[in-house]
Every structure is written in C-alpha cells, then in structure tokens.
A = this chain, B = another copy of it.
Amino acid sequence: MNRLTIGLKQAGLRLTPQRVAICKILAESKDHPTAMMIYHQLLPQFPTLSLATVYKTLNVLKSMGLVHTLGDAGDGAEHFDADLTPHINLVCVRCNSVVDFDEGLIHAVQQAVEQRSGYEIQGARIVYYGLCPQCRVNGTAKQQESAQ
C-alpha cells in the first residue's frame, strides 16, 4: 500500500489486483518505465492483462497528479515517473537509459520561474540528454540501435 494506491482509493476507485500491481512497479522501479515495459513486467503474473488496462491506469494516475510523464527518451514511447519531488532526469541518447539526478539549484529555478512568469506551475520536466559516462567510454558503436 503505497502513495499511489492510497491515492486511487481516496479517489473512490477500486483497488483491483492489476492496479495495485501497476502502482507497485511505478513506486519501486527506478528506470522510468513505459506502458509497454510495465505490461511485459506484469504479463507473467497476469497472463490476460491488457495493454489498455495499463494505459487506462496510467492515465488515471497521471490525471490525479500522482505520476509525471517525461516524454519519450528517444525510443518513441512515453516514460512515467512516480517520483514527484523536483529532480532532473538524465537521458542517454545512445543507450536510452533514464536516471534521476538531484540538483539543489532547481528549487531556486522553479521559484524564480513561478514568481516572474505569472504561471501557476503544476509540474516540471527537466531532462538533460547526452552520453552517459558508460557510453562515453564505450565510445564506438551504438549499444542498442534504438526503436525508431
């Protein structure tokens, strides 16, 4: 029972096994999964699981503001992030990995933006993309040819 399932319950939605499982993956994973990744991860456990169910649940969580979307990481699919604390995502353009990164300065940035722009800020998507340390070293051929 984590923040996500509690949120669903408080909203009056049913805690079905599928939803609980999806929430669990989101809450525990550090790799910012896509709907497809969640689907495959749960298939052994729920052989009849439908991708539509995953998408529906993710959209519910998103519309409730319980998860954020990062946009695609070069693989053409939407990545989800259950970590709502302001943080930076580092995307490697070669291996398509996404990792979190904490940088205290961004709190100040958000404050400044909020005050100077007049926007009512609901969320942020701070993504830096480039080569991760590992791919910088490997330097040569692409590790995965990407899914484009």
Contact = CB atoms under 8 A, between A and B. Distances in A.
Query: Which bucket holds chain A's interface residue count?
Result: 35 or more
Contacts of A130: 119-123
A110 interface: yes
Contacts of A110: 128
Given A71-B72, A72-B71, A112-B103, A120 B131 contact: yes
A5 to B, nearest CB: 25
Nearest to A137: B118
A93 B122 contact: yes
A106 interface: yes
Interface in A102-148: 103, 105-106, 108-110, 112-113, 116-133, 136
Contact of A101 (B88, B93, B117, B132): B117
Interface in A70-98: 70-72, 88, 90, 92-93
Contacts of A131: 119-120, 122
